[in-house]
Structure 1
Amino acid sequence: MKKIFFFLMFLGTLVSCKLTDQNAEEAVTETNQTVKDSSVVNDKDEHGCLASAGYVWSKINKECIKAFTGIPLNPISNPDSEDESLSAYVLFSEDGNQAEVFLPNDTQSIVLTRSAEGKPWIFQDWQLVPWKGFVLKKGNENKFAGDGMMGKKVTGSDTEQQ
């Protein structure tokens, strides 16, 4: 009687382990199938920059950067706008002879070059003129301007001026 009882216990344990293994295999198969069926969003550009996180490729720095960390230039048509997505941003090379401009709604930057210190940076019909900060022109039309300071501008103060 004891032998039959132990045999049944052994057989029950063996069968339950087999069922557990099968359930685990089925779960792994289902998980793998779900991963294969899911569409993974890949918003990296050709340089590996993650666009959804605000990164773009810098031709001057040769790396992924956040373009809005450069010097902001506000649109001439709406200079007091606080909408940062309407601004152009400028980054300079270490020697200052190249300026990379990130225009709003453009995926590619433009690189302007200057011939000497104090001269404007130029590329085709674009010019970046150092005047009371910077003015970005296309042809003869002023498009963007800024004071040359990096970062968001604070227009008010919580302390009284006397």
Structure 2
Amino acid sequence: METKQIKNCDIGEGTEIGDFVSIKDSEIGSNCRIWRFVNMYGCKIGSECMVGSLVEIQENAIIGRETRIQSHAFICSKVEIEENVFVSHGVKFVNDRYPPSGNSDAWESTTVRQGASLGTGAVIMPVDIGENAMVGAGAVVVDDVPPNAVVAGNPAKIIDYRD
């Protein structure tokens, strides 16, 4: 029984990939760890990243180096996550404000800046999350988050700033 389907990929030296994965048309940097039951296609992952079990990363998503993506996260097309970001368990990104639009040209992009941290179960609409910002667990982010801001709630509001 074949447990890995890896097709048309550029995988860096020292990268470990678990069983029961499907990775197609993707670029993965060196010294990464991809856990079991991961689905990735048409994406780019920087070096020294970790992708947890049961994660899906869609085409045209970009993940910067030294980023950790915990289990059950969903990263859709048009998401860019910069370096050294923490994406906790069950974070979901949305690129279609009015699903199902059926028109990928209408999808919107999201950028998560360097050093940001996204809490468990957060939902991230098409926004810009600033450098070193922190999104609380369960937050629904519908507006841009300034650098160093701490946001929480539904909809997420600024509750503090990080030093």
Shorter-chain TM-score tier? under 0.3
Per chain length, whose mean CA-contact separation is higher, i.e. which structure has more relative contact order (CA < 8 Å, sep 6+)? 1
Could you tell me the TM-score, scaled by structure 2's length? 0.25
Could you tell me the TM-score, scaled by structure 1's length? 0.25
More strand by share: 2
